[in-house]
Amino acid sequence: MPVSPVTPRPGAGARLGELIRLRTVSAWHSAPDRAGVAEAFAAFPGVLERLYPLLHRHLERETVNGTGLLFRWRGTSPLEPLVLMAHGDVVPAPESEDEWVGAGWGTDPFAGTEEDVAGAPAVRGRGALDDKGALVTVLEAVENLLTGGFTPSQDVWLVFGGDEEVGGRDAAAISDLLRERLRSLGTEPWLVLDEGGAVVPTPLSFVDATCAMIGLAEKGQAQLRLTASGAGGHASSPPAGSPIPRLARALRRVERRPFPPRMNGTTAAMLAALVPLASGAAGRALPWVTRSGAVAARALGALGGEASAMVRTTVAQTRLRAGTADNVLPSTASAVLDCRITPGQSVQDVLSEITRRVADPQVSLELIHGQDPSPESPADGERFAALGAAVGTSWPGAVPVPYLLMAATDSRHFHSWCRHVYRFAPLRMDQAQRASIHGENEWVSQDSLARGEHFHRALITSRSRA
């Protein structure tokens, strides 16, 4: 695939560091006790304009829903445009030195420092991977192509949300806006690409290879509240069946009966792609195991962790609430369950199954939020091939592999009307780096940023002429 012959600008890491120093923590936005956060969100578009002047000179920019940014790069045709997505907001991180040292950060999470990590130049800070690093790779690619005088054959739309970590209302509003505009032209995006999978060394224990995990779909999500009710009163005379023990019993029942593993199309495609890469006893068994979806699902389910989550609806107990004083029996006790739903099941299925597991009429079940799993985009055809070719130019030796995304992304607002939605950030993430997302010591290598820019440049030019 020819990539536009431009020399990338130096300093991508420094530009990412500057964006990290903007504390765009969406959970703190508009909170009066979080000094500087509202100002950071207000400053974000202006900083982008200063860092990427050609992009802002040649592309049309709109602000949507307050913090969402939509850019249109006009090509020779508006039909079947490419949509590239990222988000500029981040999750919270410790603010004071005592907090960040105690939490395991080596420095201020919002310092955006350029330093050596594991013997290589890197950028450290909240958002380096999720998702300002990926955002920068898109911006760098467009700026560099514009420097070379490139014009795309089809329109390119850039969709940057400012509240992905708290629901993605920006992306939802932008999706509605784009759907209306493109349908008036009788077209839809050729491909939508958002964060999701990454370039991963050894994605499963029996695969000794570097793989570009390209998300074809993402699991659904349901937050449920279980509430047990009963008689409150003085703790000196506790009655039987009070709310806390009743709730605890319900939670134990849910935990002891996990959802059974079941194969889905995306995970089956992943296993098929991994067969040539597998080694050891598991590798020898994999071709046989993949002949039966049920057998493969049980095998992955037995591995636990992320492998199990690929074939199983998971239920995590995330919040508990009860009582107002140490010596008072509460009249209610509640817990929140975060359920991630595998393709082939629905929010209603999860509600029914959890109700059956609890099996207690005095424990009510409330749906706080729910969204069914996304449709599964195809792992064959020219779109997936274009992604694979861009991987080949930027990460030689990495094998494109279909992947089921466990988390939710802004792209979920597009799959209801776009047939080809993929989820992949072209950055290398080992296991420790993946654990740092929403955790501690988040960092991205400078090499990843350069290769990510190359990936997006290759993808943009793959359907265009210079």
Note the pLDDT of residue 235.
67
| Residue (of 405, 442, 30, 18) closest to 197 by Cα position | 405
List of E strands, 247-398: 314-322, 328-329, 332-341, 363-371
Task: State the Cα–Cα distance between residues 226 and 360, nearest whole angstrom.
Answer: 11
List of E strands, 353-445: 363-371, 399-405, 421-428, 443-445
Q: Using an 8 Å Cβ cutoff, are 264 and 216 in contact? A: no
Dihedral sign of CA atoms 235, 239, 241, 245 in order: positive
Note the pLDDT of residue 414.
96
Token reading at 339: 């359920």
Q: Using an 8 Å Cβ cutoff, are 68 and 162 in contact? A: yes
The single residue listed with the structure tokens 């509600």 is: 351
Note the pLDDT of residue 1.
43
Measured from the Cβ of residue 202, the count of other Cβ atoms closer than 10 Å reads: 14
pLDDT tens-digit map of 71-85: 999 999 999 999 999
Task: State the Cα–Cα distance between residues 187 and 290, nearest whole angstrom.
Answer: 38
Note the pLDDT of residue 4.
53
| Residue (of 56, 38, 54, 45) closest to 19 by Cα position | 45
> What are the backbone angles phi and psi of residue 404, rounded to the nearest 5°?
-100, 120
C-alpha Rg value of the chain to the nearest Å? 24
Task: State the Cα–Cα distance between residues 282 and 357, nearest whole angstrom.
Answer: 34
- Give me the torsion for CA of 156, 161, 165, 168, rounded to 10°: -90
Note the pLDDT of residue 122.
96
User: Looking at residue 189, what DSSP letter applies?
Assistant: -
Spell out, as residue ranges, where the chain has pLDDT lower than 50.
1-2, 465-466
- Provide the whole-model pTM: 0.92
What domains appear along the chain, each with residue ranges and CATH number? Answer: 12-218+374-461 (3.40.630.10), 220-371 (3.30.70.360)
Strand pairing category for 68-73 and 60-64: antiparallel
Between the alpha carbon of residue 311 and those of residues 35, 319, 377, the distances in Å are 43, 25, 17
Note the pLDDT of residue 465.
47
Helix 347-358 to helix 243-256 angle (10° resolution) is: 120
For the chain, counts of helices (H) and of strands (E) = 15, 17
H or E stretch at 218: strand 210-218
Task: State the Cα–Cα distance between residues 136 and 341, nearest whole angstrom.
Answer: 31
3-state DSSP assignment of residue 416:
coil
131 prior amide bond cis, ω within 30: yes
User: Looking at residue 121, what DSSP letter applies?
Assistant: E
User: Looking at residue 199, what DSSP letter applies?
Assistant: E
Q: Which residues pair with 71 in a beta bridge?
A: 61, 158
Q: In what order do the strands lie in the sheet with 113-117?
A: 113-117, 120-124, 443-445
Note the pLDDT of residue 279.
83
